[in-house]
Structures are given as structure tokens and as C-alpha cells.
Amino acid sequence: MDLAKLFKPESLAVIGVSLTNESHPANVVYNKNYLHHHLRVYGVNSRGGSIRGERVYRKIGDIPQAVDLALIAVKAELVPSVMIECIEADVKGAVVVSAGFAETGADKLQDELVVIAREAQFPFIGPNCLGVFAPPRIDTFFIPRERMVKPDNGRVAMVSQSGGVLTDQMVKCAAEGVGLSVAVSIGNKALIKEADILRYFAEDPDTDLITFYVEGFGRNEGRDFVLAAAECRKPVIVLKTGKTQGGVRAAINHTACVAGDYQVFSDVMAQKGIVEATDEFEMVSFAEALSCYPKNIEGRVGIITSSGGHGVLCADACFSHGLTVPAFEEPLQKELREALSPIIRDIASCSNPVDLTGSSTDDDFIKAATCLSRNPAVDCIIVLMLPYIPGVTMDLGARLGLVYQQEGKPLIAYVPHVEKYRMLVEGFNFNNMPVAHSVEDAVHMAEAMKRNRLC
């Protein structure tokens, strides 16, 4: 099945727009796409009429132009017949927003949809989902535009069984400067499953990394997903829920998913080099880290800091996460020391962690980062930025970003995330360096690089 028109449609029919209720989910979708997105939008309602001065068509077949994607937001029992009309009108795919299928016990109705779609090779996302968010092309989320926190456009694809979790992840992505190529809420995933979407985005030139929020896989679906990931040359991150008895019960009520044996899930992900995030924060951190540096590292970390205490914190965290902080040999220490400004040369510690002290300046950080980037003793560098020391300026983010771009060794920065230091954070972000909001978070990012074995 060709999924291209689900994610990059040129025209959209919104089936189920209300003529009287402006806040109906279908109207929210109609309005935001009509006003803001780069595609042709048509309203469909069996009673006809008009909204916003535009004609509302009685059925999809009445629309005179070709329609790529249908958004179906009618009552559950009407969805099968509407889907048949879409197929007859040669629509290329659908997003079924309507709820009232397997998640409420109406498995038969859901199965009916799958049979219809499979026979016609008609791809659809859902039911019980928000669909596709990919501005400026399309946005089928029935959340008013002013209520959404929009992340930047970028190269991460986020896929989720839960529209709510996805929307919240987008808020966190916006805060952390993680840009998205697309966000997809797949709901009950009756026909199009994680593995199908993974195969599509593995080939998508606009996407570098794919994340999944998974409650559970159906029969052998996990196997199919893992095999698809093994073929994918991009990092894949998974956040699994339904790990505990209580979570398993909640997942069944939410998307009718059987959550399965969690240890098997976790072990198989690790076996195949898929990076499992343990919580919602890790998911965003991992996405940030691996979208900046999508390759595998062994995990030999070089730490650069201006505070000795932070260096110790970071070294402890590295060891407890299976990373090493190798002590530097004398020649490397000498090379480092000679590169530093005279004022700190005798007080800096040039083993690992490299403690540049509170008297250091931007240039010392650049020299140390460049030196470690060129030395094979480490394959990842964590820079602990304490912007309150007087010699450090807001330009350091962009300058260290340049070191990463020239040298190619992954650099992760820790900067306290407060408004005052925002320019420094953006300097890193805009130059493709991940920025952590805590020392521990920086170490998690390095750990994600170690666990990412797909590329």
C-alpha cells in the first residue's frame, strides 16, 4: 500500500463537517487547513450547504477535483459506508478520527473496516486517532490552532498510539528545540501499524529519526516491527507503556491493546539496537541527541567542565549508565595544558574530567573540545556549561557547534534551562548540538548514542 498521500496530500476532504456547530472536531480540522495549510480543502456533509462561504458537498463523489486524503469524522457505524464511497471516488487514503471501535468492544465494526480497506488496497490511519500533523502541508489534529504548542519544523518523525501523549510530546519538543518532520497519531491502528509507518519513514527524505509511543503489539506485530527497524538505516526510539499490571489494564481500556510481556519487549528492542526510552522526558532527550548524532558510539566519554563538582557528578552518572570516563595519558594531558590560556594553565585539571576552573574563557572551551575531538581516547564529549562564570559568553554555543561540525565527534552540552541563558542554548541547538537540561540528562543522551546500533 502506498502511504505517501497520507502524509503528503495535496487535497483533503473533511467528511462530517457540521453546518451548525463550529467547534465540531471536523470543523476544527476544516478551518485550520482551510486557513493555514498548503492544500485544497473540501467539506462534506450529507445535507450539503456551505461553510465559510464555500460549498459543502453531499458526498465525496460530488467533489469535482481529485481528492488525495479523506478525514472521516462521522459516527462509528457510518464509517464503513463512508469509506466505501471514498474508495469509489478514488481517494488515496483516509484518517478515521471517529471513536467507538475496538476500544469500546466494537471489534466487529473495526474488522469490517479493515476488510473493506485491505480488499481495495486503501490505506487508513486510526480509528480513534488524531491523524497527521505535518505543517505547512497538513494538520488533521482536531485541536484548535491557538491551543497547540507547535515544535519547529525539523527531521524527527513521531508516531504514537496516543494522540494525547503525542500532543504533550510536541510541547516538550518545542521547549527543547527538537524539530519534527511529522507527528502521527495512529489510535487503534486497525490497518496501518507501526511497522508500516516505520517502513515508509525509513525511506522518507525529510526524516532522519523515528520515535514510537507503543502500548502493545498484536500477534506477531512486534516481530514485524523489529524486522522493519533492522532494515532501517535511521535511529528508532521506542517508549513502551503497559509495563505493570495496572498499566496493562489501562492500555486495554485505552486502545484495546494487549501490552504483553514487558521484559521480552525490552530485551528484544535492545537485541536489535532499537533505543528504548524509559519515560516521556527521555524520549525527547533521546530524539534530540540522536537527531544531532545518528551514529553508534562505544561510550568513552570525555568531560569538559568549569566546575569540579559537576565533573564528579557527571563521571558518576556515566559509570552508573554503563559509559566509561577514561583517564587521559600524560601526552594528551600535556597537549591539553599547552593549549589553554596562561591564566588557567597551572590550575586546570587536564585528566578526565577536564576541569577548566571558574577562571576559564570561551577560548579554553574551544581549545579543549577541539583537542578531545581529535583524540581517539574518547568517542563522545560532554561539555558542562555553567554560564555564570565571568569568562564565558553567550557566543560559546554557536562556537562549540562549529567545532562539532568541523571535527564530527559528538558533543553534548549541559546548560541550565532558564530564560537568561536561552541564547546560549539556541546557539547549540541551531548548530546541531544537543543541549541537556541536567547533568544526568546529558549522560542519558550519550547512553542513547551507545544503545543506537541501527546505523
Which residues in this chain contact another protein in the complex, by CB under 8 A? 216-223, 226, 258, 260-261, 263-265, 267-268, 270-272
Q: Smallest distance from the beta carbon of 219 to another protein, in angstroms?
A: 6
What single-letter amino acid sits at 49?
G
Please spell the DSSP secondary structure of 378-422, one letter per residue: -SEEEEE--TTSTT--TTHHHHHHHHHHHH---EEEE----GGGH
Q: Smallest distance from the beta carbon of 198 to another protein, in angstroms?
A: 15
> To the nearest 10°, the Cα dihedral for 290, 137, 198, 103?
110
Using omega within 30 degrees of 0 as the cis cutoff, is the peptide bond preceding 390 cis? no
Q: Provide the strand spans (E) within 97-191.
A: 124-125, 131-134, 138-139, 153-160, 180-185
Of residues 32 and 451, the one with the C-beta less far from another protein? 451
Of residues 149 and 270, the one with the C-beta less far from another protein? 270
| Nine-digit cell string for 109 | 465494526
Q: Smallest distance from the beta carbon of 436 to another protein, in angstroms?
A: 26
Edge-to-edge strand list for the sheet holding 380-384: 354-355, 301-305, 380-384, 411-414, 435-436
Give residues with Cβ within 8 angstroms of 323, minimum separation 6.
299, 300, 301, 380, 443, 446, 447, 450
Q: Smallest distance from the beta carbon of 235 to another protein, in angstroms?
A: 18
Q: Smallest distance from the beta carbon of 62 to another protein, in angstroms?
A: 44
Of residues 175 and 258, the one with the C-beta less far from another protein? 258
* Eight-state DSSP code of residue 346: T
| Nine-digit cell string for 368 | 579543549
Of residues 190 and 392, the one with the C-beta less far from another protein? 190
Of residues 223 and 249, the one with the C-beta less far from another protein? 223
Q: Smallest distance from the beta carbon of 194 to another protein, in angstroms?
A: 11
Q: Smallest distance from the beta carbon of 283 to another protein, in angstroms?
A: 20
Of residues 69 and 239, the one with the C-beta less far from another protein? 239
Q: Which long-range contacts (CB under 8 A, 24 or more apart) does 339-348 make?
A: 339/367, 339/368, 339/370, 339/371, 340/364, 340/367, 340/368
Torsion angles phi and psi, residue 181, rounded to 5:
-85, -30
Of residues 193 and 254, the one with the C-beta less far from another protein? 193
H helical segments located in 321-375: 330-339, 342-345, 362-373
Q: Smallest distance from the beta carbon of 213 to another protein, in angstroms?
A: 16
Of residues 33 and 160, the one with the C-beta less far from another protein? 160
Of residues 4 and 230, the one with the C-beta less far from another protein? 230
Q: In a 3-state reduction of DSSP, which class is residue 426?
A: helix
Give residues with Cβ within 8 angstroms of 62, minimum separation 6.
none
Give residues with Cβ within 8 angstroms of 343, minimum separation 6.
359
Burial of 394 (0-12, 13-18, 19+ CB in 10 A): middle
Q: Smallest distance from the beta carbon of 107 to another protein, in angstroms?
A: 17
